[in-house]
Amino acid sequence: MPVLRVSFLVVFFSIILTSTSLVAQDNLRSQLFGEADQVMNQAKEKKADIYAPKSFEKAMSYYAEADDAYKKGKSIEDIREKIKNAAAYFAKSVDACKLAEVTFSKTMSARTDANSAGAPKVSGELWTKAEVKFRKAALALEDGDVGDARQSAGEAEDIYRTAELEAIKANFLSPARALLARADALSVKDHAPKTLEKAERLATRAEELLKQNRYDTDEARQYAQEAKYEAAHAIYLHETIKKMKQADESFEDAMLSAESQFQIVAGALGFLSRFDSGYARPVANALAAIKERDAKVNKNSDALLQAAETIRQKETEIDNLKQQVTLMERRLGTLSEAERRLQDEGKELQRKIDVHHQQEQTVQQVAGMFTEDEGKVLRDGNNIVLRLYGLTFPVGKSTIEAEFYGLLTKVQEAIKKFPHCRITIEGHTDSQGSDDANQTLSESRAKAVAEYLMANMGVEIPVEHQGYGESRPVATNDTPEGRVKNRRIDLVITPEWSAAGR
């Protein structure tokens, strides 16, 4: 028994010593690498690997050497020296990013757009070529050769834009092009040349529209979808005609087959088609039957709606009578009790009127804080919507520029007039660009405004954010003025009294 106890104590103290050693190692690594880890994270956040590759890669090399030396238990002084060099180069790369962000702003914007379009996967060769040019530009800027840096960056920008366009065309036209290639392999032109030509014409038109404006894809998408349909249609016609020829079927067989299909539709509509004079009369009869059926459906729908409305009114009358009976039952009692109750109800009503008046005054004060160019205050039920016309963003970005800080300060003062409120930042875009890109952009812009307000308010107010892309326009997207109105930030304030049911 004593032997077991001694063994247990030995194991127990071994575990304690091991745990203590691990904690000490973690503390030592934190002391050695803490500053370098912090500045490394800053460099990564600034995209120093792209903007300042030479300094960043040198920093990473020193950091890797220090980490390897630490794991092998080498000299602390040697580790510290390597970490010191790593931190210095990380800091140098962060400083270099400041100039690079300005010098390469257009190139980085083109790179971001190409990446969003899927260029690395779809246009891999062009993407790699652009990346090489961009790296050359960044290295030249680090070496102080601004002229060469700008030239290489311009070349990279052009390649990124070409890769982006190729990716967009591939995303829209790949299904149609695949079917057209299949049609060519099947020799569809032999039996359905007109339909095939139409498909090719539609695909060409879609490609031309994308070249003219790659960010307004609605019309191009429609042409691409029609091209896909017509290509599939041509293949179907080719296969059908080919089978008919193999079966030695005639034009008469083809027409009789079409008439039998139409006869099925006519039967469902309640009449018998006759084709002795062609298709004009059967088509006219079918249209007339459809209109007659629609009229009957609408008439029946109106009758059902009227009956439902009558039932609803009767139910409302019954509910009102029940409420009156309940109210009369509750008010039975002495005259003094009735008078007191009426006085209390009057006081409560007056209090609600006073509160409502004060709330409306607050809303009017907030509306007066902004000019027409800065924003407009709207009511959405009990919510207050501040539509910030004056807050705009660079194309395709979610960066809040310094010129709008004053406007956002006014927004903060407006929010403070509604203590304990809830805030939702809504981002909206126009219809230019793809649906997914617009959704992502609206979310990032709403998030940027929400984070700015939470960082600068000075009071604890929850700020939520939501992007809606192009799904909630307030104007037509067919005019520049309409698109400007649709590219907006809406700040929705839910006051405490609104959440409580007013």
| Residue reference for tokens 């092009």 | 177
Q: Which pLDDT value is given to residue 502?
A: 47
270: left (phi over 0), alpha (psi -120 to 50) or beta: left
Q: Is the pLDDT of residue 9 over 70?
A: no
Residue spans of the domains in the chain: they are 2-103, 141-243, 357-499
501: left (phi over 0), alpha (psi -120 to 50) or beta: left
Looking at domain 357-499, which of 3.40.30.10, 2.40.240.20, 3.30.1330.60, 3.40.50.300 is its CATH number? 3.30.1330.60
Express as a percent the part of the chain with pLDDT over 70: 89
Q: Which of 180-194, 233-247, 283-297, 321-335 has the lowest mean pLDDT?
A: 321-335
Q: Is the pLDDT of residue 348 over 60?
A: yes
String of b and e for 412-435 (b: at least 16 CB within 10 Å)? Answer: eebbeebeebbbbbbbbbbbbbbe
pLDDT band (50, 70, 90) for residue 332:
low
Residue-wise pLDDT tens digits, 243-301:
898 888 888 888 888 888 888 888 888 778 888 888 888 888 888 888 888 777 677 66
Average pLDDT, the chain: 84
Residues 225-231: what's their mean pLDDT?
88
pLDDT band (50, 70, 90) for residue 64:
very high
Q: Is the pLDDT of residue 440 over 90?
A: yes
Q: Which pLDDT value is given to residue 101?
A: 92
CA dihedral 324, 330, 334, 336 (to 10 degrees): -90
The alpha carbon of 400 is separated from its chain's Cα centroid by a whole number of angstroms, namely 18
422-428 and 383-388 as β-strands: parallel, antiparallel, unpaired? Answer: unpaired
Note the pTM of the prediction, 2 decimals. 0.47
| Residue reference for tokens 């059926």 | 293
Q: Which two tokens stand for residue 269?
A: 């509509």
Q: Which two tokens stand for residue 426?
A: 């809504």
Residue-wise pLDDT tens digits, 68-117:
989 888 888 989 998 999 899 999 999 999 999 999 999 999 999 999 88
Which residue type occupies 58? K
248: left (phi over 0), alpha (psi -120 to 50) or beta: left
The 10 Å Cβ neighbour count of residue 126 is: 21
CB 73 within 8 A of CB 120: no
How long, in residues, is the chain?
Answer: 502
Closest CA to 53 of 43, 63, 62: 43
Alpha-carbon span 172 to 435, nearest angstrom: 13
Q: Which pLDDT value is given to residue 2?
A: 54
Q: How far is CA 233 from CA 181, 189, 227, 474, in A?
A: 14, 12, 10, 39
Residues 346-365: what's their mean pLDDT?
83
Q: Which pLDDT value is given to residue 16?
A: 46
Q: Is the pLDDT of residue 128 over 90?
A: yes
Helices (H) and strands (E) in the chain, counts: 17, 5
Helix H segments across 331-404?
Answer: 335-368
Residue-wise pLDDT tens digits, 372-429:
888 889 988 889 999 998 898 988 899 999 899 899 999 999 988 888 889 999 999 9
Q: Read out DSSP for 293-339?
A: HHHHHHHHHHHHHHHHHHHHHHHHHHHHHHHHHHHHHHT-S-HHHHH
Residues 1-12: what's their mean pLDDT?
50
Q: Is the pLDDT of residue 22 over 60?
A: no
Q: How far is CA 468 from CA 378, 396, 486, in A?
A: 19, 15, 11
Higher pLDDT, 167 or 270: 167
Alpha-carbon span 434 to 81, nearest angstrom: 51
Q: Which pLDDT value is given to residue 30?
A: 86
Q: Which pLDDT value is given to residue 159?
A: 95
Alpha-carbon span 243 to 256, nearest angstrom: 16
Which residue type occupies 342? L
